């Protein structure tokens, strides 16, 4: 049976699972909405993978904001932040890349690379302006399916300037322009440009952005945003074939390298764990003045992982 490497990226909006062959080609990919249920969505996508009769799982890595919890669920060999994971995947497919634009559902990042090494990065920290959720919301307001958003932006005849500093301003500006009689297409184009302007101003501040540029994350599907990026940086922007699942690919690659380095077999729990119930429990430990909020994951009443205890007492009790 052939070997495969798995990567799971559990984000706020989507849960992605990929399987790579030993040459890092994508042999399976699934993209699901997380819907606030990270454990369930990971299980669903693993079931999907199981039905395809996959090869032997030689390594598995977890990334995304839900990485800790899901790492425990699947028995990950590595649990890595999504910045490192994205950079790993991108430098594999584009060894020359210098600047990565990544826009996801709830966050966006800029990663600066030199000689294949991350030298700087920025991630939006207080504001969701310029992320996929914002676009989703506006698409809904204009009652346009988000899938058609990009094509419509490209069809615009005229430029409309929309304030991009804050979604609240952008929204009221949008309504104002609408009332002046601009078409939906023009407003959408203006919105795409506002989003990119906001993104570059916020995250690119104080950084020199060098080509080649790579644009990835779910929002890379949007041609309007890509065009706005190209206009803003004045150069071609590359989009990877698997732009939406680069984090998961990176996690799989990092897991493969980890297993190879340590020489130990993968800690993957196997597909049987899909039948187990994983229950997260929150405990307010009152044994000392620290009052730690401990999060514990239990299987059949037994704790298998915990976080948040400063003294390590709860962590040690896990099997």
Partner 1 sequence: MAKISFPYMGESVVAYKKIGHMLGHEVIEPPKPTQKTVDLGVKHAPEFACFPLKVLLGTYLEEIALGADLLMSSGGHGPCRAGYYGEMHRKILRSLGYEGHLIIFDAPRDHLRDFYQDLKRIKANNSWIYCYHVLKLVYRAIKIMDELEQKVSRLRAYEVKTGSVNRAWEQIQELVNQAFTLPQLEAAQKEGHNLLDSLEMIPVKEERKLRIGIIGEIYVVMENSTNMMMEQKLGELGCEVRRSQYLSDWIDFNLLPHWISHPHEAEIQKMGTKYFDIGIGGHARENMGWIDQFSNWGYDGIVHLLPFGCLPELMSQSIIPQVSKDLNLPIISFALDEQSGLANNLTRLEAFVDLIKAQKFGVKQHILQQKAAG
By the criterion CB under 8 A, which residues form the site for partner 1?
65, 68, 71-72, 75-84, 87-88, 91-92, 107, 116-121, 123, 125-126, 205-207, 250, 253-254, 257-258, 261, 267, 288-291, 305, 309-313, 315-316
User: How long a stretch of residues is the chain?
Assistant: 319
CA 91 to CA 88: how far, in whole Å? 5
Nearest distance from C-beta of residue 38 to partner 1, angstroms: 12
Nearest distance from C-beta of residue 109 to partner 1, angstroms: 9
Nearest distance from C-beta of residue 158 to partner 1, angstroms: 37
Nearest distance from C-beta of residue 229 to partner 1, angstroms: 22
191 versus 203: smaller Cβ distance to partner 1: 203
73 versus 162: smaller Cβ distance to partner 1: 73
18 versus 88: smaller Cβ distance to partner 1: 88
CA 47 to CA 92: how far, in whole Å? 28
Tokens representing 16 are: 């992605």
Tokens representing 77 are: 């060999």
Nearest distance from C-beta of residue 141 to partner 1, angstroms: 26
CA 208 to CA 130: how far, in whole Å? 20
CA 145 distance to own-chain centroid: 22
85 versus 187: smaller Cβ distance to partner 1: 85
Task: Tell me how crowded residue 143 is: count the other CB atoms within 10 A of its CB.
Answer: 7
CA 268 to CA 123: how far, in whole Å? 30
149 versus 199: smaller Cβ distance to partner 1: 199
36 versus 312: smaller Cβ distance to partner 1: 312
**201 phi and psi, to 5 degrees?**
-65, -40
Residue among 77, 130, 64 nearest 259 (CA): 77
63 versus 167: smaller Cβ distance to partner 1: 63
Nearest distance from C-beta of residue 145 to partner 1, angstroms: 29
Residue identified by tokens 């590595």 is 78
Task: Return left, alpha or beta for 273; rule: phi > 0 is left, psi -120 to 50 is alpha, else beta.
Answer: alpha
Nearest distance from C-beta of residue 315 to partner 1, angstroms: 5
CA 41 to CA 80: how far, in whole Å? 19
Yes or no: say if 289 and 303 are a contact pair by the CB < 8 Å rule.
no
Q: How far apart are the first and last CA of the chain?
A: 31
């Amino acid at each position: 049976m052939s070997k495969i490497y798995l990567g799971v990226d559990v984000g706020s909006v989507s849960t992605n699972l990929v399987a790579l062959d030993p040459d890092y080609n994508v042999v399976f990919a699934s993209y699901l909405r997380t819907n606030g249920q990270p454990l369930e969505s990971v299980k669903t996508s693993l079931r999907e993978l199981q039905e395809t009769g996959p090869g032997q799982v030689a390594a598995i890595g977890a990334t995304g904001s839900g990485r800790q919890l899901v790492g425990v669920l699947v028995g990950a060999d590595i649990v890595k932040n999504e910045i490192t994971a994205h950079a790993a995947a991108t430098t594999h497919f584009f060894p020359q890349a210098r600047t990565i634009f990544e826009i996801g559902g709830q966050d966006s990042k800029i990663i600066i690379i030199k000689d294949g090494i991350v030298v700087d990065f920025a991630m939006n920290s207080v504001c969701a302006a310029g992320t996929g959720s914002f676009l989703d919301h506006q698409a809904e307001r204009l009652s346009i399916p988000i899938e058609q958003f990009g094509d419509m932006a490209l069809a615009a005849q005229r430029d409309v300037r929309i304030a991009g500093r804050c979604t609240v301003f952008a929204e009221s500006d949008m309504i104002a322009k609408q009332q002046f009689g601009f078409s939906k297409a023009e407003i959408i184009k203006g919105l795409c440009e506002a989003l990119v302007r906001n993104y570059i101003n916020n995250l690119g501040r104080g950084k020199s952005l060098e080509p080649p540029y790579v644009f990835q994350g779910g929002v890379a599907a949007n041609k309007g945003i890509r065009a706005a990026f190209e206009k803003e940086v004045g150069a071609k922007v590359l989009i990877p074939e698997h732009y939406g699942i680069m984090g998961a690919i990176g996690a799989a690659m990092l897991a493969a390298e980890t297993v190879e380095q340590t020489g130990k077999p993968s800690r993957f729990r196997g597909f049987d764990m899909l039948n187990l119930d994983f229950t997260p429990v929150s405990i307010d430990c009152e044994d000392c003045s620290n009052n730690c909020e401990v999060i514990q994951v239990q299987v059949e009443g037994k704790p298998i992982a915990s976080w948040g205890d400063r003294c390590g007492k709860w962590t040690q009790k896990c099997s």
